[in-house]
Each structure stands twice: as structure tokens, then as C-alpha cells.
Amino acid sequence: MEYYNYIKALHLIFVITWFAGLFYIPRLFVYQIEAFHKEEPEKSILGNQLKLMAKRLWFIITWPSAVLASLFAIILLVLMPAWLQQGWMHVKLAFVVLLFAYHIKTHFIFKALQNDIVKWSSNSMRIWNEGSTLILFSVIFLVIVRDSINWIFGVVGIFLLAIILMLGIKLYKRIRAKNPNA
């Protein structure tokens, strides 16, 4: 138990870097998708640079952070097995499964874009980018307030956040339509 706080600190550090990667990689995807529709030589120059940036972010930061955050989480659960008896931990672990599903789907998008296969629009990728934000908000509030939160208010709050994010994306789309350089 003397190492508990060190392990918890390492878990939090790698959760933060994992989310940083998950926040930034869809943004790079947006730029890759937009570069794919440009004329040559801009298409090739931007496309190659963005692929390299995405590859480095994905394999040097995001995937290792996901693995290390999970490893330290498992160690924490071994040290504190009573947490597995608490309802909030079950919900948190469900969100972690959802986060891994998001991560794996993002990996498939990454692989497609690395092979110049563009199936998403830049706007739909902006919406996809908000998935990790919703998971992050859910997990942080769940861990901090645990059982004291009223689940109904929590669920309503997450839906309101999702609506606000979608409205923000629509507003950005309108601004961008009026000013393409925004």
C-alpha cells in the first residue's frame, strides 16, 4: 500500500495522455480528410505530413498511454479489491469498455486514412471527436461524486452536454461556411 499513491499518479498521468491522443487524433483526421480533397501538389504534401503526424501520435503516445493506463488501473484494483463491490466502479468500468470501443473504432479510421481511404466527412469527424469528451466528462463526474450523484441528473447532464457540443459544431460549420479560413 505504500506505493498506492505512486501507482494512482501514474494511472492518472497515462489517462491524461491517452485522452490527449484521443482528443487530437480526430482533429488530425479532419485535416487529412480536408487535404484529401485539395488539388496537387498541396494534397500530397499535406496528406503525407498529416499521415506522419497521426502515425506518431497514435503509436508513440495514444496506444502506449491506453495500455499503461489500463495496466496501472488493474494494479489499483488488485490493491483495492473492495472497489469492485461498489456500483460506481461498475459504471466506470462500463465507460472504460466504451472508451476502448471508441479507441478501436478510431484505430480503424486511422488505418483507412493511412491508406487514403476516406469514408468520413470532415464534419462527421468533428462530431466523432466529441465522443471521447462525453466519456471523459462521465467518468470524471462519476469518480469524483461517486454515489452522491443522483443518476437521473447525471444522465440528463450528459445529454445536455452532448446537445451543447452538437450545437457548437453546427455553429462552427455555419461560421466556416461563411469564412472558409476560420
- For the chain, the domains span 4-178
Question: Can you tell me the mean pLDDT for 61-78?
Answer: 97
Is residue 148's pLDDT more than 70?
no
3-state secondary structure string across 66-135: HHHHHHHHHHHHHHCHHHHHCHHHHHHHHHHHHHHHHHHHHHHHHHHHHCCCCCCCHHHHHHHHHHHHHH
* DSSP state, residue 156: H
Q: Supply 80's cell numbers.
A: 483495492
> Which range among 55-69, 96-110, 162-176 shows the weakest confidence by mean pLDDT?
162-176
pLDDT tens-digit series, residues 70-127 = 999 999 999 999 989 988 888 889 999 999 999 999 999 999 999 999 999 998 999 8
Is residue 181's pLDDT more than 80?
no
Q: Supply 173's cell numbers.
A: 460549420
How far, in Å, CA of 118 to CA of 56, rounded? 20
Residues at the annotated binding site? 11, 92
Report which secondary-structure segment, H or E, holds 19: helix 4-36
Query: How many C-beta atoms surround the C-beta of residue 56 within 10 A?
Result: 11
Q: Which residues contact 139 (CB under 8 A, 6 or more apart)?
A: 92, 95, 96, 99
Length of the chain measured in residues:
182
Residues at the annotated binding site for heme? 11, 92
Share of the chain above pLDDT 70, in %: 95
| 3-class DSSP assignment, residue 31 | helix
User: What band does 51 get if pLDDT is binned at 50, 70 and 90?
Assistant: very high
Is residue 162's pLDDT more than 90?
no
**Per-residue confidence (pLDDT) for residue 152, from 0 to 100:** 62
Q: Which amino acid is at 92?
A: K
